Amino acid sequence: MSGTKAGGLKAAATNRAKYGKEFYARIGRKGGQNGHTGGFAANPALARIAGAKGGRISRRGPAKKVA
């Protein structure tokens, strides 16, 4: 029954029986603690500079005129 809603419910029940009723709360907490906003989200000016660099390195070649 893998990949079905019923199979998912059975798997969830098994996980709770094996690892305790707080199983999903614990793994959700780990994911929340692991996430840190950084990179372009923290510095929009840097994203603009990087995008400009990428645009200059176009792989498409020069435009061809169609008459």
C-alpha 39/C-alpha 51 separation (Å) is 13
In angstroms, the CA 15 to CA 13 distance is 5
* pTM for the structure as a whole: 0.48
The SS3 assignment for 5 reads helix
Residue by residue, pLDDT tens for the chain (67 residues) are: 668 999 999 999 999 999 999 999 999 999 888 867 777 878 899 999 998 998 888 777 777 888 7
